[in-house]
Structure 1
Amino acid sequence: MKKELLIILFIGFVFNISAQSVDPLITKDAEAQDVWIDSIIKNMTLDEKIGQLFMIQAYSNKDKKHEDYITNMIKKYHVGNLIFMQGTPDKQATLTNKYQDSAKVPLLIGFDGEWGLDMRLKNTYRFPWNMTLGAIKNDSLIKEFGLHLGKHCNRLGIHLNFAPVVDINTNPENPIIGNRSFGENKENVTEKAIAFTQGMQSMGVLASAKHFPGHGDTATDSHQTLPVLNFDLERLNNIELYPYKKIFDAGVTSVMTAHLSIPSLESDSRLPTSLSKNVVTDLLQQKLGFLGLVITDGLNMKGAANYATSAEINLAAIQAGNDLLLIPQEIPATVNIIKKAIELKTLTEERIDFSVRKILKAKYWAGLNNYKPVQLENLNADLNSIDDELLHRELVKNSLTVLKNINGNIPVRNLENRKIAYVKLGDDSGADFVNMLQNYGKVDVVSDKNLDGLIKKLKPYNLVIIGYHKSNANPWKSYKFKDKELVWLQEIAREKNVILDVFASPYSLLQVKSFTNIEGLIVSYQNSKLGQELSAQLIFGAFGAKGKLPVTIKTDFFEGRGFTTSNLGRFEYTLPEAANLSSVKLKEIDSLATIILKKKMAPGFQVFVARNGKVVLDKSYGYHTDKKLLKVKNSDVYDLASLTKILASLPLIMKAEEEQKISLNEKVQELLPSFKGSNKAAVSVREILSHYGRLKAWIPFYVATQDSVTHKNLPTFYSNVKSKKFAIKVAKNLYINKNYKDSIYKYIRDADQRERPGYKYSDLGYYLFKEAIENTYQKPLNTLVDEEFYQSLGANRTSYLPLQKFAKNEIIPTEKDDYYRNQLVQGYVHDMGAAMLGGVGGHAGLFANANDVAKIMQMYLQKGYYGGKRYLKTETVDKFNHRYFSDKKVRRGLGFDKPQLNPKVKATCGCVSDESFGHSGFTGTYTWADPKSGIVYVFLSNRVYPTAANMSLVRSNMRTEIQQVIQDAIID
């Protein structure tokens, strides 16, 4: 007894803390609260009072026998509180209402949802674990997380959530806390715990700081045994108890007491701290001055259960100073032993009343004085909202931590010089990571069963991204590398430039012997789908890194380390609401898609929508053909037709104009001396780009190579076998005489000009531009545009001559041609003139997927900048995105199509700004960008399948109908 008194006196000396000045359970209408409590407690029997001390387990995934048991506990033993465990929200809500109807006094419903209701319930939302959140600098996001979780609890009739964990995890081998802790820094842990508490309690949900007095530096699990903390009082005061003192002042409403053995606080080494009066009453309530609700940790845990019988443990917990017994066992026996203790005067009814009043006070605080049943309608939707998704994204984005970045490897720049491989380590999937990486450029998945084989396969690559993927099922899953993986990591890093991305606890890095050869290191904390996708976006500079390491990794990386990285202006892939677009409104695109497919306007198509650099829709619909054998995938490429003009020819013309190699005032005869003396000699570049050059719309060059009666291709011009003479491939097994190119240009040179000036859309000028560009730069058009733009843009799904780059089943077929090539055109340009030039035309020939088309359009929208590189000057983009003949009723800019001047024309939906620009293509393609709204829209289809006579997509204006939906979806 003398020793215990000395300990208590020493505690008072060390902690020297005045009592908490404000009871966190007192409400603003304190008098009404007291009246309500008095009205209940004065009519209670002793049995009813004892029943208020229990919070028993209830499940929503068990049978009627369990439900009857809970109902019996409420009615017969007056149990006043429930903690729900596994199940589903619908069933829990139904049972909550049922059990509340059985209770004389409204039940306080508890829940253990540290990272969201998903911790216990299916079909509910999962936010990141605390270790992930501990990497976030912005604590207002943690407060928002608490608020969202409070909303969820409130919606489901939960009044008390056993969170936040305020344990300071200073022991990497801690088997039960670990990822559940905000980290090892006491200030960081405290600030985040307070922010979380404030957020959750602002929604009327009681928070519970746990596990008092501190479970962060244990090597054993209190669920299995009684952990021992051999720390002196000074250490406990400086570390473990630090967050409690702060969070008490911040108004946390309850505390959970842990099952620990701490000799410096309790001399009986067998007695858990949760059952120790020295800890629960003298330290927690008197010395630290906590006035809120004191709740034990689960009394079914072996850290407590091994001490005595369940009834004896429950009595000891009350005698120690706890108010609420969490998951007590042997309820009838406990009622009897408490009543016996009162008879023996080892416990008083006043002591019971003290806790009952606090419990009732908590119930009033949580609004149970005005109890209302849980509404079942829209429950699942309310528990899984877009707002939750948006917050989740922000939490993950702000947590991603760059620990090493030699030579600025992160974000990846200069894609034209990069050959990138991805190697997976770990035993969980990295598919979402890879899929997102591949949105930015060509990233090859490389694997092998043997290290030597892997190293050999990696030889051609100059950057290897290694993803370490471990299970995200729960925070306790193993995060450790296998010995083999550690060897492979070091060997790959020794040979190659490496970025290691760890989708697991940062403690996994403790196993890595050396980081010397690892140039880039990212901790992404969890292997969630969102974590993988956002980390991939970080690597390519869609946004910058902000996270700070919440724990120390040996002497290599100290807590608080984390480099910021640059935003390179590449696409960020996100939700519509993140770009102030309505996801509900955008779903109307699905309805229009159904009409397109049902009415066979096209067998399939891709739709892409981005706003202000945020991709909100990248979706494929339908099939390659009406046979429905292959579904359209986002990676599949379409024949872009006339989109080629603004995606291939135009950027090169703009570049040449900047370099003063081509002038807008330059005449055709200056571009191509062979046109001197022709009727096109004096037509300017500006006039051609504006479609004001009086050129014919097009010339069916192929007709002159066919028999006029049979319409068969003449052997003078064609061969089924490639040879020196027939060297230009038109289509499969079809080669044209190499000299026919000269005939094409002669036809153009000799073609009549339109008699009257005015607007007339024409392909012919782009034949001339192709020739001029190739003459200027002494390279083929396809090679030049790939080297100057596509490679560095990461547009690896964009190409002329797609069969040289892509598998045939990745290329969408166009037409069943029965008039020229007499075959299904697949992998060869649909446009006949471009085909006769070998598939590379200035006006047609380009293939791409929607994502890549959008990259080029976004580069234009960002005034020539994308991916950390300036391709064109701002003034150049502005110069070309301008109407020079609007007074002549020409809506076109230079190369770019512009919104209609005549309302009867349907170039756009009529809902875009005059600053907007884009183009459409014969095969059923369309793209548009609007600087005012920030929208980039791409629609790619093969509406010419089965034949070009299929005009229903064009006549229905479906492409601009979708554009209207996008515009209507803007919510700012």
Structure 2
Amino acid sequence: MKKAGLLIIYLICLSVHLFSMGKEPSLYRNIDEKQMEHWVDSVFDSMTFKERVGQLFVLGVDVNLSARNKELVKKYIQELKIGGILFTKGTAKAQAELTNYCQSLSKVPLMITLDGEWGLSMRLTDTPKFPINMTLGAIENDSLIYAYGKEVGRQCRRMGIHVNFAPVLDVNSNENNPVIGRRSFGESPEKVAHKAIAYARGLESEGVLSVGKHFPGHGDTSDDSHKTLPIVNQTRHHLEKFELVPFKKYINSGLGGLMVGHLNVPAFDNYSQLPASLSPAITDTLLQQKMKFKGLVFTDALEMKGASEFPNLAAKALLAGNDILLKPLSPITKMDELLKAIDDGVIPHSLIEEKCLKVLRYKYILGLNHYSAIPLKNLNEDLNTRQTQLLIQELYAAAITILKDTKEILPLKMLGQRTIAAVAVGKNDETPFQKMLGNYASVEPISLTGKMPTAKQSEIISQLDKYNTIIVGIHSGKKADITLARRICQNRNTILVFFTSPYQIKGYQDVIKKSQAVILAYEDNATAQEYAAQILFGGYGAQGKLPVNINNLFTLGKGTETQATRLGYTLPEATGMNSDSLDKIAPIVKEGISAKAFPGCQILIAHKGKIIYSKSFGYFDYAGTHPVQNTDVYDLASVTKATATLPAIMKLYDDHKLSFHQKLSNYIPQLKADTHKKQITIKDALYHETGLASTLSVFPLFLDRNSYGNHLYQKKRDNDYRIQIDRQLYAHKDARLRKDMFSTSRSDTFPINIAENLYATPKVPDTLFTCIVKSKTRNNKNYLYSCLNFILLQKAVENITQQPLNLFLNKNFYAPLGATTTTYLPLTHISRERIAPTENDALLRNQIIIGYPHDELAAFSGGVSGNAGLFSSANDLAKLLQMYLNQGEYGGERYISAHTVASFTRAKSENSRRGLGFDKPNTNKPEASPTCPEAPASVYGHTGFTGTAFWVDPDNDLIFIFLSNRVYAHRWNKNLMTLNIRPRIQSIIYSALK
């Protein structure tokens, strides 16, 4: 009687099903049905009945290449004649090898499936790690979700995977749900539907079947169906209004697969007490008849406790309306039970044949009629592409959500007035979040954990009183971390950044209410942390919207949008550049290092407001004692002219305190005594058209003439002249600095620090300036590059502002820009170990120069000079240059008017290639140009004697910075120029734009 009852239920369902008209899945659209049916019929006709039954089984298989596992798989395929495989965790290569092995054993190509709700990495450890669904639920731009689905589809095809058990269509309306939670796109049925459909369409555009789950909705449960049978105690009306909405929209969008969950849903089946996966009322009547789903129906894994303990499991699942039996326990037993049910008449042959034909049609649609083995060569490279990494970054950047910003402090401004600490709660080491913050400003990283002794915690927390801005990174919802956060935030200006599930922030309710701003990054990984830091400082704009409600704190859809105001950090592909082309930079650099053109360098490329290449190569010296880091600092030499003196001039021009045509003598009275010099204008000095000499030798000024013979130096080396100071120039071995001007110890008489353990009287810089004022000039003002011009410009700036150049620049530019390493006198706040050495000066300073200007004019001026003396990392220098590119604005603050920037950067002398303070390409004689031939005429920049350069291209929105210490250990090393390293690298950059 029981068997007859099951059969009657099936026949009734079948008759209704045949007369219902549903929407064919979209995967059918481009299929030649005649060819498909020909293949399906030929395969079907060649199969035994047991083989047809086997097509309905998809079994779980370990990703294990052991002989024992292979033997088990062989048994499944050759004896059970299974239709497909669901692999467990492993590596991509191992799964690919096992897939090829399995397919080689099967008469009918196997349907390879994946339970990859957030991509392959959910199961394969060495594959790209995409955000989880709750994170994706915060993204407003569904085209990004489509791109994500499409990329997962591409990866599946590369791995020989035909079906992905995703997307999750469950609406997570129960925050205490133990099994769905962050696997859901969120709490809004409409948004869940939009995200799931976008993802599924992307997946199926690559020929991979999407399987939405867990019908009719697992979001409002308090139990885990892996462990028991959850009950969904909601009314039919509620379920149709919430849980079923994503499924309806998914079906109406023509998507191809659905998985039925192990859920007891009394509102839809109040009689059988069966899980939905075994209930004809739900799987057939509701899903396939009422909702008209025509795609492939999978059970959830039948090994789960929510279904596994029911008798006649396989038969019930097929009679309920499922097409495929997924991952049953004891598959051989389940197959035997099913065959017996068929023999006993519980299940008619026609049902098996109908479902087998349906499975074969999907195999055809998914390309299994033309199966070929997975190529193993370059497998990992094909999966882990730069485009894939870029997409992952874009997804995280679009998801991160600003939940609170009541005083509109984000992105952070006024960096020059901020003292910032970044506390990592629950972490022992510096985090990627803290490191990225350090790219934007001087940020003190601090770690605090609940395991620290209370006294140690108190000591660290008390140190926070030194800072007026405290960024707190929260990485868990542990009680100890909540307690720490409360102590940190007590009476302090804090910004909270959560790297947790939205639900975990509830424990921080009192802390959140006291904070100035709150950011939610959803996950605790390097990418989420780095992009949260960028959004905090404006490297990226915030776009995310909260996908769930957080009781008494934040409502669904909450999220403040911001704009990008500073440089961001990303991959070249984000701005349309080509990483493969940029990879050609490294061989050129290595060539230079091998040829000892320089021991190491930093190279930075910014494009369209994003730093897309920032790498350090080599070492500080040829002994390899210190690998160059991006945070290290180089002596910029003459790059100082365009990044220190020039912005000061631009600022004063902007403030109408000087003009191009005003005479320098108006600001430097000492020049009025010289008939020629008193006529020199600001413009003349900027163009290097003053008639002044190129430089001034300090040797005769500061070396004691009594310490050497008649001549200080000569061209040939001998016993007396053995201090080499140039390629063919040697100084006398006994030459010494004047004792009346220099001392090895600081005192009131010798207060000016020239080098390590070398101090000077104020007379030294005064002597230099007097000599410049009294120096001879040429009869004409033809172009001649001169350091003296910019020393005079420095003096003009200082006389106008009534403060030293370095203080004026730090206040008006470097500090507010967050350019903390762009500085004169770096040893005052930068560790000596972070500063690249320059020359081994055996004549004047008797030391390897570290942290003091290599340029003698700058050094003997006390380290601050208009021609040289500035130090910087490439990262911080880029901020100033991006400000130029932004027409005087950066970080939401204006530094110089757009008109002034345009006036200085566009101007060019009629007599030379020079701009107003900037160098420019030599378009008339490209072979003599400091830039590559591809650089347009609009480019402006400067080079430095120590082996530095920058070039800004407004036409292509491009910045190129090269910093090296090519003068280590001797200034006559010309290999950097001989090998044409900098222009060759710049040429590569332009090729990457194409």
Q: Which residue of 2 aligns with 1:134?
A: 137
SS in structure 2 of the partner of residue 858 of structure 1: helix
Structure 1: distance between partners of 2:861 and 2:737: 16
SS in structure 1 of the partner of residue 754 of structure 2: strand
Structure 1: distance between partners of 2:329 and 2:739: 95
Q: Which residue of 1 aligns with 2:513?
A: 516
Q: Which residue of 1 aligns with 2:329?
A: 329
SS in structure 2 of the partner of residue 660 of structure 1: coil
CA 1:533–1:654 in structure 2 vs 1: closer, same or farther (change >3 Å)? same
Pick the aligned partner of 1:30 from 30, 33, 36: 33
- Report matched runs for 1:28-177 at 5 Å: 28-177=31-180
Pick the aligned partner of 1:566 from 563, 567, 579: 563
Question: Do the aligned residues in 1 keep the contact of 2:667 with 2:800 (CA within 8 Å)?
Answer: no
SS in structure 2 of the partner of residue 353 of structure 1: helix
Structure 1: distance between partners of 2:214 and 2:41: 31
Question: Do the aligned residues in 2 keep the contact of 1:430 with 1:532 (CA within 8 Å)?
Answer: no
SS in structure 2 of the partner of residue 446 of structure 1: strand
Q: CA deviation at 1:850?
A: 0.6
Deviates more, 1:280-289 or 1:831-840: 280-289
Aligned partner of 2:239: which letter? Answer: L
Structure 2: distance between partners of 1:187 and 1:18: 26
Q: Which residue of 2 aligns with 1:940?
A: 963
- Report matched runs for 1:434-445 at 5 Å: 434-445=434-445
Matched, 1:338 2:338: yes
SS in structure 1 of the partner of residue 585 of structure 2: helix
Structure 2: distance between partners of 1:721 and 1:45: 99
Structure 2: distance between partners of 1:919 and 1:534: 32
Structure 2: distance between partners of 1:691 and 1:235: 79
Structure 2: distance between partners of 1:883 and 1:335: 83
Aligned partner of 1:663: which letter? Answer: S
Q: Which residue of 1 aligns with 2:530?
A: 533
Q: CA deviation at 1:919?
A: 0.5
Aligned partner of 1:816: which letter? Answer: N
Structure 2: distance between partners of 1:554 and 1:343: 56
Q: Which residue of 1 aligns with 2:713?
A: none
Structure 1: distance between partners of 2:392 and 2:158: 19
Q: CA deviation at 1:937?
A: 0.8
Q: CA deviation at 1:247?
A: 0.8
Q: Which residue of 2 aligns with 1:799?
A: 823
Structure 1: distance between partners of 2:458 and 2:193: 48
Structure 1: distance between partners of 2:737 and 2:23: 97
- Report matched runs for 1:303-314 at 5 Å: 303-308=306-311, 312-314=312-314
Question: Do the aligned residues in 2 keep the contact of 1:701 with 1:833 (CA within 8 Å)?
Answer: yes
Question: Do the aligned residues in 1 keep the contact of 2:946 with 2:967 (CA within 8 Å)?
Answer: yes
Aligned partner of 2:921: which letter? Answer: P
TM-superposition CA deviations, 1:642-689 (whole Å, max 9, x none): 111111111111111222222211223222111112131111111111
Q: CA deviation at 1:243?
A: 1.3
Question: Do the aligned residues in 2 keep the contact of 1:86 with 1:121 (CA within 8 Å)?
Answer: yes
CA 1:941–1:25 in structure 2 vs 1: closer, same or farther (change >3 Å)? closer
Q: CA deviation at 1:430?
A: 6.0
Question: Do the aligned residues in 2 keep the contact of 1:607 with 1:938 (CA within 8 Å)?
Answer: yes
Structure 2: distance between partners of 1:39 and 1:384: 39
CA 1:18–1:538 in structure 2 vs 1: closer, same or farther (change >3 Å)? farther
Q: CA deviation at 1:784?
A: 0.8
SS in structure 2 of the partner of residue 408 of structure 1: coil
Name the TM-score, length of structure 2 as normaliser. 0.92
Identity of aligned residues (%): 40
Question: Do the aligned residues in 1 keep the contact of 2:169 with 2:196 (CA within 8 Å)?
Answer: yes
Q: CA deviation at 1:392?
A: 1.6
Structure 2: distance between partners of 1:859 and 1:155: 44
Q: Which residue of 2 aligns with 1:475?
A: none
Matched, 1:453 2:459: yes
Deviates more, 1:276-285 or 1:74-83: 276-285
Matched, 1:917 2:945: no
Structure 2: distance between partners of 1:949 and 1:484: 61
Matched, 1:625 2:649: no
Structure 2: distance between partners of 1:43 and 1:136: 49
CA 1:882–1:366 in structure 2 vs 1: closer, same or farther (change >3 Å)? closer
Question: Do the aligned residues in 2 keep the contact of 1:260 with 1:303 (CA within 8 Å)?
Answer: yes
Structure 2: distance between partners of 1:684 and 1:799: 28
Q: CA deviation at 1:441?
A: 0.7
Matched, 1:192 2:215: no
SS in structure 2 of the partner of residue 681 of structure 1: helix
Q: Which residue of 2 aligns with 1:821?
A: 845
Structure 2: distance between partners of 1:338 and 1:487: 57
SS in structure 1 of the partner of residue 195 of structure 2: helix
Pick the aligned partner of 2:974 from 924, 936, 951: 951
Structure 1: distance between partners of 2:404 and 2:20: 45
Q: CA deviation at 1:484?
A: 2.6
Structure 1: distance between partners of 2:343 and 2:764: 113
Q: Which residue of 1 aligns with 2:472?
A: 466
Structure 1: distance between partners of 2:447 and 2:771: 54
Q: Which residue of 2 aligns with 1:728?
A: 752
SS in structure 1 of the partner of residue 490 of structure 2: helix
CA 1:687–1:30 in structure 2 vs 1: closer, same or farther (change >3 Å)? same
Q: Which residue of 2 aligns with 1:577?
A: 573
Q: Which residue of 1 aligns with 2:913?
A: 891
Gaps spanning 5+ residues in structure 1: where? 12-16, 471-480
Gaps spanning 5+ residues in structure 2: where? 14-18, 709-733
Structure 2: distance between partners of 1:837 and 1:715: 17
Matched, 1:556 2:579: no
Pick the aligned partner of 2:595 from 599, 621, 627: 599
Q: CA deviation at 1:416?
A: 1.0
Q: CA deviation at 1:286?
A: 2.0
Structure 2: distance between partners of 1:395 and 1:242: 25
Structure 2: distance between partners of 1:284 and 1:349: 23
Matched, 1:258 2:261: yes
SS in structure 1 of the partner of residue 615 of structure 2: strand
Q: CA deviation at 1:910?
A: 2.4
Deviates more, 1:269-278 or 1:511-520: 269-278
Structure 2: distance between partners of 1:555 and 1:737: 67
TM-superposition CA deviations, 1:788-838 (whole Å, max 9, x none): 100111101111111111111111111111010011111111111111111
Deviates more, 1:494-503 or 1:36-45: 36-45
Structure 1: distance between partners of 2:902 and 2:237: 68
Structure 1: distance between partners of 2:834 and 2:196: 51
Structure 1: distance between partners of 2:319 and 2:799: 94
Deviates more, 1:702-711 or 1:209-218: 702-711
Question: Do the aligned residues in 1 keep the contact of 2:592 with 2:979 (CA within 8 Å)?
Answer: no
The count of residues paired between Structure 1 and Structure 2 equals 945
Q: Which residue of 2 aligns with 1:747?
A: 771
SS in structure 1 of the partner of residue 466 of structure 2: coil
Aligned partner of 1:786: which letter? Answer: N
SS in structure 2 of the partner of residue 531 of structure 1: helix
Aligned partner of 1:948: which letter? Answer: R
CA 1:338–1:658 in structure 2 vs 1: closer, same or farther (change >3 Å)? closer
Q: Which residue of 2 aligns with 1:669?
A: 665
SS in structure 2 of the partner of residue 645 of structure 1: helix
Question: Do the aligned residues in 1 keep the contact of 2:319 with 2:347 (CA within 8 Å)?
Answer: yes
Deviates more, 1:700-709 or 1:912-921: 700-709
Question: Do the aligned residues in 2 keep the contact of 1:689 with 1:895 (CA within 8 Å)?
Answer: yes
Structure 2: distance between partners of 1:427 and 1:863: 41
Structure 2: distance between partners of 1:885 and 1:164: 63
- Report matched runs for 1:800-879 at 5 Å: 800-879=824-903
Deviates more, 1:958-967 or 1:753-762: 753-762
Q: CA deviation at 1:88?
A: 2.2
Structure 1: distance between partners of 2:115 and 2:252: 23
SS in structure 2 of the partner of residue 513 of structure 1: helix
TM-superposition CA deviations, 1:704-727 (whole Å, max 9, x none): 221332321121221112222222
Pick the aligned partner of 1:683 from 671, 680, 689: 680
Structure 1: distance between partners of 2:740 and 2:72: 93
Q: Which residue of 2 aligns with 1:707?
A: 704
Structure 2: distance between partners of 1:152 and 1:720: 67
SS in structure 2 of the partner of residue 37 of structure 1: helix
TM-superposition CA deviations, 1:600-645 (whole Å, max 9, x none): 1111111111111110111111111222111111111111111111
